[in-house]
A and B are shown apart, each in its own frame.
Chain A
């Protein structure tokens, strides 16, 4: 959908583009139209049961916007292991409406994405490399599956990456008591769509390895809509007036991991990140070198 929209903007008059945009913004996600899919219900409720092991298959973790293939930061060390695949963005219209000063910060983030500063461990460098919780929405499109466990009054989402997780009570919303990496989620059903309203962010998470970021004023509204037995449409509206001039939206399908042996596994990556984080503090570290 993003591509189609961009092509339209490039190839038509502004008014025509606006009409196209209105059509697409107002419609259902642009997957094959047909009779609305009726997902099986969670027993005891009238809601679809979203329980399962899900995964996004996009390259948004590298960059939520369009990006060409790239050698990555260490071609001499890693060959193509460290390369970035080409990928189409997940941002509607491919444009992130940064405020000018915020755009500069994004570019600085990118330059310092693999910098570790022991005295500013939370404010410099991509949190992913440090095995920090990915935040929302990034947790959704990390290249790792996540498990939804849906009960009648609460939904738990357990992400493999960094063992991040959140509990989403369904019903009356409550205010975030403090700030969190994964925010404070409140859920409700809009027909067959699970809507999760997330606030209470600490502002330390990023959107991707490209340095796209937000502040602690972030407000995310996520929508999970069953499209078939084995896929959900995921949409998230991003609002953060201190960083962006207007709300913007991302979307992508989520696929059920249907392999017979698919299951939630641990990626408790702390011990995999320690050398990266602390290695420079230790001269002649016994942990150094290739493993």
Chain B
């Protein structure tokens, strides 16, 4: 008994230490002491207060890398090694270091223009669309020692796709055969078309360019100002459900409070089979995100849970339940941090994101594909090859799941 208590407290100590590991530098902090005071008092109308500008980047991989096996958390040594390898992009809050980092990034960017062309269109400018200023870390991102965002299933892996989803994926590939990268606008990905960056819930997590979300509350509503040109208006009252014929890119969100936790359920997602073509890059936009998998959206139910666990931190969980696409639901956890740049009074709102209004790239992409269609066809075929390999892997996963499920019965 005594032995077990000791062991348990040992585990607890490790968890406390590693969950809130704040990356370099640990200014005035010791690991485990990052909990920065209690959450603020409730709003004047009695709701838990989630308001503020939140830094939502994560450096935790969606799926657990195999090197971590069954472990939910990595050691600080492992974290340091990943940082060294650039798997966790972290700069210090020293301005000079940020400046050096930016200079280095820009030097590398320009260097590409002089590199030997590998024959791919756009090679010399790929990655140079933005200079380093736009991908700079505005604040030191805090990182957790989680080995994966996925906490359920416990193996940290995205569940297998259903046979229906795989067949749909194949049909979509078939429909794309013979099309180039830019025969028309629908040959480009959703983010290049300025329709959706990577959909919900992917957009809830930041990228280096647009890491901040702002939450503003009032009785009956929670709104989340998104850095991609829209506001999530979340109704807290019951209200009649939205008719099933009304499908939206970001679905229809309804929220309620469970204790200190805001629970948001989103349905009525758009049918992405008909609207999403694979973007260049990886399988569905180079993003392993759920929204790019060939779901129909008809059954997709997203459940998000927002809990302010201390003054500076929201624990953010989402659960994907889409029986048309995944053989079982899955859940992730991430952390949002109050943005210090904003709390120190440097910025009082998010800036406008006018993507579509200035999407000159679309005109250029279509004209480019016409100027040399063969090139555009070859490039589309090359990308189709990448997706084909991905699809084969997904079939293997599905068959393996089926086999283990049968043997388990």
Residues of chain A having any CB pair with chain B under 8 Å: 42-45, 49, 51, 118-119, 121-122, 127, 130-133, 147, 149-152, 154-156, 158, 162-163, 165-167, 169, 174, 177-178, 180-182, 204, 260-261, 263-266, 268, 270-271, 273-274, 277-278, 281-282, 285-287
- Are B357 and A43 in touch, CB under 8 angstroms? no
Complex alpha-carbon distance, A270 and B358, angstroms: 12
- Are A151 and B218 in touch, CB under 8 angstroms? yes
* 6 pairs, A vs B, C-beta closer than 8 Å: A119-B363, A165-B231, A204-B357, A268-B195, A281-B363, A281-B367
How far is the CB of B385 from the nearest CB of chain A, in Å?
23
The A-contacting residues of B in range 361-375, CB under 8 angstroms, are 362-363, 366-367, 370
Identify which of A150, A261, A264 contacts B233 (C-beta below 8 A): A264
Is B216 interfacial (CB 8 A cutoff)? yes
How far is the CB of A194 from the nearest CB of chain B, in Å?
14
Name which residue of chain A comes closest to B270, CB basis. A266
Contacts of A162 in B (CB 8 A): 356
Contacts of B92 in A (CB 8 A): none
How far is the CB of A39 from the nearest CB of chain B, in Å?
14
Ordered nearest first, which 4 A-B pairs have the shortest CB separation? A44-B44, A163-B230, A158-B231, A167-B349
- Are B220 and A122 in touch, CB under 8 angstroms? no
- Are B216 and A154 in touch, CB under 8 angstroms? yes
Q: A119-B363, A154-B216, A266-B248 are in contact. List 8 more A-B contacts (CB 8 A).
A: A42-B219, A122-B358, A147-B233, A149-B217, A151-B217, A263-B239, A278-B184, A281-B370
How far is the CB of B177 from the nearest CB of chain A, in Å?
14
Identify which of B45, B225, B249 contacts A156 (C-beta below 8 A): B225
Residues of chain B having any CB pair with chain A under 8 Å: 43-45, 51, 183-186, 193-195, 214, 216-221, 223, 225, 229-231, 233, 235, 239-240, 242, 246, 248-250, 252, 275, 348-352, 354, 356-358, 360, 362-363, 366-367, 370
Contacts of A121 in B (CB 8 A): 360, 363
- Are B184 and A285 in touch, CB under 8 angstroms? yes
Identify which of B44, B195, B351 contacts A152 (C-beta below 8 A): B44
How far is the CB of A47 from the nearest CB of chain B, in Å?
12
- Are B218 and A149 in touch, CB under 8 angstroms? yes
How far is the CB of A269 from the nearest CB of chain B, in Å?
9
Contacts of A122 in B (CB 8 A): 357-358
Identify which of B221, B248, B366 contacts A278 (C-beta below 8 A): B366
Name which residue of chain B comes closest to A259, CB basis. B240
How far is the CB of A203 from the nearest CB of chain B, in Å?
13
